[in-house]
């Protein structure tokens, strides 16, 4: 079930309208059609939205960040911790804050991201003791709040218009829309004992963003 924001088709229509295209009909995005549409202008717009959906969400926002996520290394697998493919980013937190734990792909198993200890230079976390990380997850676009969707759509519109048409006047207007969306989105707030990622807006000079305190 979709969240409170825009459907994917509504987002596609916002993007294609930047170059004067008529909105697509129906409620199914191009990749979900039978057979899938991979060549139309709407399919191109879907690709741009998918691209910026991942880029924006990887920054980490209150709605897709889990603070203090606990993992127990697998003692029968060299004290490794496998992560879901939807995990975009991690950083050490809580009792593990002194460690440098990051997300990395093991070349021997490229399909499964893992926790990597950068100081030990190893996927072997040293023991089966539980480690704690702040984790950013990739959520489905339609499950996001309207504010975060606005940031994603805003970036997609700017990039799409530049690539497909390159109108400088339109570019200025779209950048203003994107900046407004950036200024309104909630961000993670710094805790006294740690510094979570993505505390400031990407657009300089937009003032203090709304923030969400870690719980």
Domains of the chain, by residue range, sit at: 8-58+140-201, 64-137
The pLDDT of residue 203? 65
Task: Say if residues 185 and 195 touch (Cβ distance below 8 Å).
Answer: no
CB-based contact 15:160 (threshold 8 Å): yes
60: left (phi over 0), alpha (psi -120 to 50) or beta: left
What are the per-10-residue average pLDDT scores of the chain (215 residues)? 84 98 97 98 99 97 96 95 97 96 93 96 95 98 97 98 97 97 86 62 58 47
Q: What is the pTM of this model?
A: 0.85
Measured CA to CA, the distance from residue 59 to residue 189 in angstroms comes to: 13
**pLDDT of amino acid 214:** 47
> What confidence score (pLDDT) does residue 190 get?
64
Q: What are phi and psi of 145, to 5 degrees?
A: -75, 155
């Amino acid at each position: 079930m979709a969240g409170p924001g825009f459907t994917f088709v509504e987002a596609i229509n916002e993007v294609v309208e930047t170059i004067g295209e008529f909105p697509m009909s129906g409620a199914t995005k191009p990749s979900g059609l039978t057979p899938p549409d991979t060549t139309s202008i709407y399919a191109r717009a879907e690709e741009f939205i998918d691209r910026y959906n991942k880029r924006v969400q990887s920054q980490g926002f209150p709605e897709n960040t889990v603070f203090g996520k606990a993992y127990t290394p697998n003692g029968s697998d060299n004290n490794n911790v496998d992560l879901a493919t939807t995990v975009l980013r991690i950083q050490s937190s809580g009792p593990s804050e002194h460690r440098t734990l990051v997300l990395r792909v093991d070349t021997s198993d490229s399909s499964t991201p893992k926790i990597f200890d950068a100081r030990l230079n190893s996927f072997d976390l040293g023991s089966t003791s539980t480690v704690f990380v702040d984790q950013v997850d990739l959520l489905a676009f339609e499950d996001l709040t309207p504010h975060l969707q606005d940031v994603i759509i805003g970036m997609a519109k700017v990039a799409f218009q530049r690539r497909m048409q390159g109108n400088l006047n339109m570019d200025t207007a779209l950048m203003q829309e994107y900046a407004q969306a950036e200024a309104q989105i909630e961000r993670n707030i710094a805790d006294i004992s740690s510094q979570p990622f993505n505390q400031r807006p990407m657009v300089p000079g937009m003032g203090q963003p709304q923030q969400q305190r870690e719980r």
